[in-house]
A and B are shown apart, each in its own frame.
Chain A
């Protein structure tokens, strides 16, 4: 958990990652933190303190819908699910991310080609 090889998550991408994870299936805060950890193979470090403000921000923007439901352990947990406008937002962010990544890649390959 304290390995120095982990990257802090790039600014502005946390929202996109949360939306993506929730788009697969509704999840509670702890579940989202775990999934982020697992999927990124512990390469990306999510500051858990910034997870909850992000979740509430997305909920306020209407991209997430929250609901108290019984979790796997039997206790009630707050589950977040993607709304229709959240789905649209996720698609838009994925698209712009792909364009940015593609452009960066293009610049790198240009540099190595010459």
Chain B
């Protein structure tokens, strides 16, 4: 760093060194004259003793700024000058590279966010998504891989396979902190959501199973870090404050860790509400304990050492038993024999979900990769284009390089100069 700073005050350094060396020579000449040498002899002798002034200057410059760095700076200035001389060439290369690099990095950041980014949870590779394949004989809303809250709780009991199974549903709520109210995204979650994901609080505490035991008994909520910062200015005294969610009062008990932004890409919930409060906060909803209302997405964390295949196979006997038991329950709808067969033939499907789950991802998986591949090809074409331009220019510089070689420039030095252009 200090060396680079020297580059910018090199004029001052140079003149200082000049004065210093001149002083040395003059003093030596004076002393030698005093010792009896003629003026001319003293001058010659002094110069002989000191050695070549130009050489000393070069050596001292090497101290100020390492030789290779100095050469590099000179080369850079040279290439900037030559680029300025040929603006058409420069603009063409810059534009092609800009296009290639810009498109690639834009698409890559999308691919990274949507496809590659693992959840900021503890050991995300052990997270699985649990789907019901078959007919659930249930009413509900949302996409096909949803289940009812009681079934999720039953799955949570399968401790030989799972460390825990939680469920969640995104919903839009009407939120009011003070006077004004606005729409916000809330995630209705089972009480073990945070503990199974391994996400802690940034402030206060997160939801626990205790917040999800008795219906409507725990009017509490946890804020997402983004919401807390953007809407509440990151105030440290939010814990204990009340908010109105669909006109029901909820108490803020904490703020989630800043790295955690929900498990869906592109959908960061503003707050988390325990499922026990769902009847209160979702207008007209009364299906929390109904086994035949499917509305929640179910995710689990495999036990240490448990593989996805073993868990999936091991779950089926319990699952079949549950289906038969469900069918004998009071209130099970009357259905045709064919439908009953489809119901009984249902199975559970586990999918690795280290990146959480989102419909966005499922929809974009293929198009995104295709798009990414296309932009990589585009970048390759841009590079090809630019290298062609450089090649053409290089052959035009034949004579210049020949002259440089003839003047004694080494091949390595010339190579470095050309490489500096590439920088």
Interface residues of A (CB under 8 A from B): 1, 28-30, 33, 47-50, 52-53, 56-57, 60, 71, 73, 75-78
A36 to B: closest C-beta gap in Å: 13
Give the docked Cα–Cα distance between A76 and B6 (Å).
23
Is A52's CB under 8 angstroms from B17's CB? yes
- Report the separation of the CA atoms of residues A71 and B22 in the bound assembly, to the nearest whole angstrom: 14
Which residue, of B2, B17, B20, B64, has the highest number of chain A Cβ atoms within 10 A? B20
Interface size class of B (residues with CB under 8 A): 20 to 34
In the complex, what's the smallest C-beta–C-beta distance from B43 to chain A, in angstroms? 15
How many angstroms between the C-alpha atoms of A52 and B62 in the bound complex?
Answer: 12
B15 CB, nearest partner CB in chain A, Å? 11
Between-chain CB contacts (< 8 Å), 17 pairs = A1-B49, A28-B23, A29-B24, A30-B23, A48-B24, A49-B56, A52-B21, A52-B60, A53-B56, A56-B63, A56-B64, A60-B63, A73-B27, A76-B23, A77-B20, A77-B23, A78-B19
Task: Tell me, rounded to whole Å, the shortest Cβ–Cβ distance linking B63 to chain A.
Answer: 4
Task: Report the Cα distance A77→B56, complex, angstroms.
Answer: 18
What CA separation (Å) do A52 and B18 show in the bound complex? Answer: 11
**Given known A-B contacts A29-B20, A56-B60, A60-B63, A49 and B30 have beta carbons under 8 A apart:** no
User: Which of A30, A47, A56 is within 8 Å of B28, CB to CB?
Assistant: A30
A50 touches B49 (CB 8 A): no
Complex contact A48–B63 (CB within 8 A): no
| Cβ contacts under 8 Å, B106 to chain A | none
B255 to chain A: closest CB distance in Å?
48
Q: Which of B11-37 contact A (CB under 8 A)?
A: 16-17, 19-21, 23-24, 26-28, 30
Complex Cα–Cα for A73 and B27 (A): 9
A62 and chain B: residue at smallest CB distance: B2
* Bound complex: CA A30 to CA B16 (Å): 15
Residues of chain B within 8 A of A53, CB atoms compared: 56, 59-60, 62-63
CA distance A57 to B3 in the complex (A): 11
Within 8 Å by CB of A50, from B19, B28, B59, lies B59
Our count of residue pairs bridging A and B at CB distance below 8 angstroms stands at 57
Contacts of B59 in A (CB 8 A): 49-50, 52-53
- Minimal beta-carbon separation of B116 from chain A (angstroms): 46
Nearest Cβ on chain B to A75's Cβ, whole angstroms:
6
Interchain residue pairs A-B with the least CB separation, the first 10: A49-B51, A53-B59, A56-B63, A30-B24, A30-B27, A57-B63, A78-B20, A56-B60, A77-B23, A48-B50
A78 near B2 with CB under 8 A, answer no
Residues of A within 8 A of B3 (CB): 60
Majority-rule SS of A interface residues: helix
Distance in Å from the Cβ of B125 to the closest Cβ of chain A? 50
**A75 CB contacts on chain B under 8 angstroms:** 23, 26
Apart from A30-B28, A52-B17, A76-B23: 19 A-B pairs, beta carbons within 8 A: A29-B20, A29-B24, A33-B24, A48-B51, A49-B50, A52-B56, A53-B59, A56-B17, A56-B60, A56-B64, A60-B2, A60-B6, A71-B23, A75-B26, A76-B19, A77-B23, A78-B16, A78-B19, A78-B20
A54 to chain B, nearest CB (A): 9
Report how far A77 CA is from B6 CA in the complex, Å: 21
> How far is A29 from B17 in the complex, measured between Cα atoms in Å?
11
Q: How far is the CA of A88 from the CA of B231 in the complex (A)?
A: 57
Answer yes or no: B55 CB below 8 A from chain A CBs.
Answer: yes
Q: Which of A33, A47, A49, A75 has the most CB of B within 10 A?
A: A49
What residues of A have a CB within 8 angstroms of the CB of B27 in the complex? 30, 73
- Chain B residues near A1: list those with CB within 8 A: 49
> Please, which residues of chain B bring their CB within 8 A of the CB of A77?
20, 23
B337 at the interface (CB under 8 A from A): no
Closest CB in chain B relative to A93 CB, distance in Å: 19
A76 and B27 alpha carbons, distance in the complex (Å): 12
Tell me the residues in window 49-80 of chain B with beta carbons closer than 8 Å to chain A beta carbons: 49-52, 55-56, 59-60, 62-64
A76→B49 CA distance, assembly (Å):
22
Q: How far is the CA of A88 from the CA of B350 in the complex (A)?
A: 68
The answer to whether B51 touches A47 (Cβ under 8 A) is yes
Closest chain A residue, CB of each to CB of B58: A53
CB B28 to nearest CB in A, in angstroms, measures 7
Closest to B62 in A: A53
For B284-328 the 0/1 string (1 means CB < 8 A from A) is 000000000000000000000000000000000000000000000
**Contact residues in A for B6 (Cβ distance below 8 Å):** 60
- The chain A residue with its CB closest to the CB of B48 is A1
Chain A residues, CB < 8 A from B52: 49
* A33 CB contacts on chain B under 8 angstroms: 24
Check A52–B2 contact: CB distance below 8 A.
no
- In the complex, the answer to whether A60 meets B64 with C-beta atoms within 8 Å is yes
Q: How far is the CB of B136 from chain A (nearest CB, A)?
A: 76
B16 CB to nearest A CB, Å = 7
Report the nearest B residue to A58, measured CB to CB: B63
